[in-house]
Chain A
Amino acid sequence: MEQADILALPRPKWKAEYLEDTSLRRLVLEHYDREHVPLLRYLALLGVDRETSRELVQESFLKLHEHLLNGGDRSNLRAWLYRVAHNLARNTQSAFRSSKTESLTGSEGAREPVSEAVSAEEELLAEERVKCFREAMNQLSLAQRECLTLRAQGFKYREIAEVLNLSVSTVGENVARALERLKDLL
């Protein structure tokens, strides 16, 4: 697996949790570095507000650590992460309350967030596109939005089905319906 995977190092198998755990912690942070922004994007597109997303992302990675500690399956940790984040979001009452992608709009938050630096014009243009996109996305059902977003994150239909607990054919239909609707709106 990843470079920092302790098991991949040429060392004997120490049957002690402690040693395992330290490398797992590193593995979790590696996944965090790679996936936290895409995960935040996914949650935002589902309509989860920023503060909730922040908590959900933290919780998802803590659960990943727990999963690894318990010797859980490592074959597709990325899909695993999305599934957990997704289920956490589902269970959070406020998360899907609006079911609109409002969280893509403003910066009403208290803390100073970090986003990529762009020129003022580019920012305006991007803002306009995002606003337009948000409106278009709101025309879609939640399942369509979920499927479309995961597809855009590079997941195969089979993986999306796994994350969302749907059949592969349903995923295909949702993506197709979503695209049909969006292509005329964008």
Chain B
Amino acid sequence: MTKSDHLPNDSLLRAIDDELAGTEVVLVESHLQRCEECRRSYQELSHASARIESVLAAVPIEHYPEERERLAEELERCQTKTNLQGSEKVLRRFGWGMAIAATLAIGVLLLPGRHARIPNTTGVSEARSSAALQVDGETFIPLPYSNPELPVSASHIVEMRISASSLADAGIVFEPISNTASEQDSSVLADVLLGMDGQPLGVHVLRQ
């Protein structure tokens, strides 16, 4: 770029947009410092840009609130499909209409210590950590990080294989694997109780 060459608009615009590449920065800035004409062009472009952006932002866009609901339903359909495709997973769904049953849902039952060891984490989880969850005649070991406020009635039970290490991370340790490092990758078949937030509430190990 010689002194007589003025800056092209796309250079000016890249300067406005902070998109100049390494060496260009010095060239453009030094030219702007000594060339009034380019400074004027820079100002003009800068104003035009601001004007255009404000008009663009003012363009009224109609949107439809029911579209979100439609998307949410569609996403759930995709999810159900995915679950049914999984060969090892059986989804048993409790009717969402069973919310009335919420009041009697959280069965509190003390679990013998030899079955599970649950770490004390937060105060909230501690309050529940010793109570098992009773759903549909099945006993679940509650997980330390699940939300205790959720009604158990609006939950799903999903049968799946869970790696022993995941279980151990959740504070549930089973005798045969707790001491042997070599069996870290083993998995167990378990029913997982999922709350309405999709987070696991509890686990019931079916067999190892």
Q: Contact: B60 with A62, CB < 8 Å? A: no
Q: Contact: A32 with B68, CB < 8 Å? A: yes
Tell me the B151-184 residues at the A interface (CB within 8 Å): 158, 160, 162-163, 166, 169-170
Interface string of B8-37 (1 = CB under 8 A from A): 111011100101000000000000000000
Taken together as a complex, chains A and B put the C-alpha atoms of A29 and B79 apart, in Å, by 14
Taken together as a complex, chains A and B put the C-alpha atoms of A39 and B53 apart, in Å, by 16
Taken together as a complex, chains A and B put the C-alpha atoms of A179 and B81 apart, in Å, by 48
Main secondary structure of the interface of A (DSSP, over half): helix
A-B contact count (CB 8 A): 172
Q: Contact: B48 with A175, CB < 8 Å? A: no
Q: Contact: B58 with A129, CB < 8 Å? A: yes
Q: Contact: A179 with B48, CB < 8 Å? A: yes
Main secondary structure of the interface of B (DSSP, over half): helix
Q: Contact: A152 with B162, CB < 8 Å? A: no
Q: Is A97 an interface residue (CB 8 A)?
A: no
The contact of B52 among A11, A44, A116, A179, by CB within 8 Å, is A179
Complex contacts, A45 vs chain B, CB 8 Å? 56, 59
Quick one: given A45-B59, A113-B64, A176-B13, are A16 and B75 in contact (CB under 8 Å)?
Answer: no
Sorting the interface of chain A by its residue count into under 10, 10 to 19, 20 to 34 or 35 or more gives: 35 or more
Instruction: Other than A17-B89, A157-B17, A186-B48, give 9 A-B pairs with Cβ distance below 8 A.
Output: A15-B163, A16-B158, A18-B89, A21-B83, A25-B72, A41-B61, A109-B62, A114-B62, A130-B55
| A positions within 8 Å CB-CB of B | 6, 9-19, 21-23, 25-26, 28-29, 32-33, 36-37, 40-41, 44-45, 50, 54, 57-58, 61-62, 65-66, 69, 104, 107, 109, 111, 113-116, 126, 129-130, 133, 148-149, 151-152, 156-157, 172-173, 175-176, 179-180, 182-183, 186
